[in-house]
Amino acid sequence: MINAVLFDMDGVLLESFEAWASLVDAAARHFGHPPVTREAFRAVYGQPTQADVDHFFPGETVEGVEAYYEAHFAEHAAAAEVVPGAVEVLAALERQGVPTAVITNTPSGLARQMLERASLAPDAVVGGSDVPKAKPAPDMVFRACEILGVEPWDALVVGDSPYDKQAAAAAGAPFAGIGGIEGNFTLSGLHQVLDIVEGTFK
């Protein structure tokens, strides 16, 4: 039985690749590093900030880069769009009394800013700055389940990347893949999350 749903953010609830690519390129220029192309950024999209530092900002600190992200994301936010159905699915789960969380490698302060701007209001947000290890480690799944008061095996993880799938597997949680990644459930759209919760998924 599914007692909670844990969503990845980027690529699942928000289409934010362009916003992030623009922000990271601006950060590179700010810190005096070479420009970051869309192709180069795609290779690390969805990974924790440490990956950005390793690839694009050698010598900078994670804290410094995250502070820049939080201070300047709003300048690039217009490029981020809500995934069709995201608002409706979260609202339907709330009506059914099924708690929700966002688990994202994005720093939690910035994640909350992005979600609020998109009018998305999960019950909890666990970001990369809230746990010892970001995805693909299971820490976020465990932390979100602790906050929501459910066991990991009763929480559905919805994600679009191998990091999400690996985190779910390591935590013992069922995984619903979207955007071309397979899982215990493979989704063609977010609305199918409701079918899984209701036990009618086919």
Using CA atoms, how far apart are residues 64 and 89, in angstroms rounded to an integer? 35
| Counts for the chain of helices (H) and strands (E), in that order | 9, 8
Q: Name the nearest CA neighbour of 128 among 46, 197, 186.
A: 46
Using CA atoms, how far apart are residues 168 and 156, in angstroms rounded to an integer? 8
108-151 per-position pLDDT tens digit: 999 999 999 999 999 999 998 899 999 999 999 999 999 999 99
Average model confidence (pLDDT) for the chain? 95
Cross-strand pairs, 7 = 102, 158
Return the CATH architecture of domain 4-15+81-198.
Answer: 3-Layer(aba) Sandwich (3.40)
What is the residue extent of each domain of the chain?
A: 4-15+81-198, 17-79
Contact in structure between 118 and 80 (CB atoms under 8 Å)? yes
Q: Residue 162 is encoded by which pair of tokens?
A: 């191998």
120-131 per-position pLDDT tens digit: 999 999 998 899
Percent with pLDDT over 70 in the chain? 100
- Total-model pTM: 0.91
Each residue's pLDDT expressed in tens, for the chain with a length of 202 residues: 899 999 999 999 999 899 999 999 999 999 999 999 999 999 888 888 999 999 999 999 999 999 999 999 989 988 889 999 999 999 999 999 999 999 999 989 999 999 999 999 999 999 988 999 999 999 999 999 999 999 999 999 999 999 999 999 999 999 999 999 999 999 999 999 999 999 988 7
Q: Say which DSSP state 132 is in.
A: S
Instruction: State whether residue 35 is helix, strand or coil.
Output: coil
